[in-house]
Chains A and B, each alone.
Chain A
Amino acid sequence: MRNLLIFINKYNAFFLFIIFEISSLVIYIKFNSFQKASFINSTNKVTGTLYAQVNELYSYLSLREVNDSLAKENARLRGQLKSSFYIDSVNKKQVKDTIYKQQYTYIEAKVINNSTNRSNNYITINRGSLQGVGKGMGVICSSGIVGKVVFVGPHMSIVQSLLHKDSRFSAMLSKNKEIGYIEWSDDLDPHKGYLKDVSNNAQPHVGEEVVTSEFSLFPAGIPIGKVSNLRTKTGGFALNMEVKLAVDYGKLQYVDVVVNKFAEEQAGLEAQQKKDE
C-alpha cells in the first residue's frame, strides 16, 4: 500500500493528466450536442451579457452597412405595396381577402455573437423563449437565409448557421424549380456553398438564382445565392454545383426568426405517420 502511494506520488503529473483529460473529453463528447448543453455556452448569464455589451460597441462600427441594407430592403418592400401597382383593367373587382391568412410571422432579433472562421459556426441572438423563439425555427436576414435555431434560453438563443458541417437545407433552382439541398463548402470559405442532388435533367446555368424550396423550414423563395460553377464533383445520378452565397455572414447585424404557424401540426402529423409505418 505504501509503495503504491509512493509510486502514485512520484508520477502524480501523469495521473493528474489522465484524470483531467478524461473529464474534459467526457464533457466534450457528452455536451457537444446542443440538446444537452447545460451552462457552458454563450447563452449563460456571464458570457451572454459580456457578448451583448461588446456587441453594443461593435454595432456602431457597422452602422453604414446596416443602413444600406435597411434602405435596400425598404425599397424592395415599397415596391410590393399596393399603392405602387396600377390597375390595368377597368372592371377589376375588389375582392375581400379571406383566402390569404398569415402562415409565417417574424421575430426581429439582433446578432450578439457570431463566427465564420471555424468548422462549426454558431450565432447567438438576443431573443429567447420569452419572445416566442422555439427550437428548430428558421432564421433569415434581409439578403437571404441564415440558419436554424438549435438552443433556446429565456432571453437568448443559439442559431446553427449555414456555415456548419451539419447544416443542410432544402433548396431549388429559381427558374425550373428543380429541388436539391444546400450545404456549406468543405474548405471553410464563408462565401461558398454546394447545391447537391439536383436531378440530371435540370439545365442550370451560371448566375442562376438558388432559393429555398417549399419543403424547407423557411418560406419558399427566400434567396440563398447564385450558381457560380457547374463543374464540381458530379455525384453520378445527380448534379452538384457550386453556389456563391448571397449573405455575408461576417457582417450579420439584424436577423428575423421565422415562426411557421403550421410547423407543429406538420411535425406532429409526420411523427404520427412514422409511427404507423
Chain B
Amino acid sequence: MSRVLLINFLRFISLIFLQVFLLKNITLYNLSTPYLYIMFILLLPFETPNVLLFALSFLMGIIIDAFYDTPGLHAASCVLLAFVRILFISITVQKEGFDNEPEPTLSVMGTRWFFTYALILTLAHHFFLFNLEVFRLSEIPFTLSRFVLSSIFTVFLMLLTGFLFYRKRER
C-alpha cells in the first residue's frame, strides 16, 4: 500500500516538472503541443475511490494552471478526463480482475487495451482543453487541427513512457 502511494507521489511530482519545465517549451509548427501530465490520472490504481480520483485530478489541473497562468482551464479538462476514465474502465474491465491487475499500466494491461485507453482519454481531454481555451467558433478548423495533432503527440509520448517503464508480468 505504502509502495503504491510512494510511486504515485513520485509520478505526480516528476510529471509536473516534466510538463512545466520541458514540454511547455515544445511546440511543433505552432500546432502540436504535448500534455503528458494527464498520464498521472490515467495510471492511478483501479481501486482509487471516485472522490479521491476527482480530487487528485482537480489538484493536478490546478497546479498545472498555476504554472500556465490559466486558472481553471486545465482543472476543468482534468475533471472531465477523470469522468471519462471511470466510464471507460467500468465498460471494459471486469470488477473481479482487480486483484491481479492493480494499475492500468501498459505492462499490466497489454498494448492493445492501453493504446485504446490512452487514445480515447487523451482525445476527450484535448478536445475539451483546446476548445475551452479558444472558445470561439470562427477558428474551429485551426483548433481542430491543433487538437488532433497534439493528441497524436501526447499518445505517442505516453506509449513511449509506457514501454520505457515496461516490466514483465510476475505470474
**A contact set with B: CB distance below 8 Å:** 12-14, 16-17, 19-21, 23-32, 37, 39-42, 44, 46-47, 50-51, 54, 115-120, 122, 124, 158, 186-190
Contact = CB atoms under 8 A, between A and B. Distances in A.
Interface of B: 20-21, 24, 27, 30, 33, 50-51, 54-55, 57-58, 61-62, 65-73, 75-76, 79-80, 82-83, 86-87, 132-134, 139, 142
Contact of B65 (A14, A40, A124): A40
Contact of A21 (B24, B33, B80): B80
A126 to B, nearest CB: 16
Contact of B71 (A32, A51, A122): A32
Contacts of A47: 66-67
A115 B24 contact: yes
A31 B65 CA distance: 11
A20 B59 CA distance: 11
Contacts of A186: 139, 142
Instruction: Give the interface centre of A19, A24, A158 by most chain B CB atoms within 10 Å.
Output: A24
B104 to A, nearest CB: 16
A100 B133 CA distance: 47
Given A17-B82, A119-B134, A24 B75 contact: yes
Contact of A32 (B21, B54, B70, B83): B70
Nearest to B20: A50
B79 A187 contact: no
Contact of A24 (B21, B66, B79): B79
Contact of A54 (B21, B50, B57, B134): B21
B165 to A, nearest CB: 25
A24 B142 contact: no
Contacts of A44: 66
10 contacts: A20-B54, A24-B58, A24-B76, A29-B72, A32-B70, A40-B72, A42-B69, A46-B66, A117-B33, A187-B142
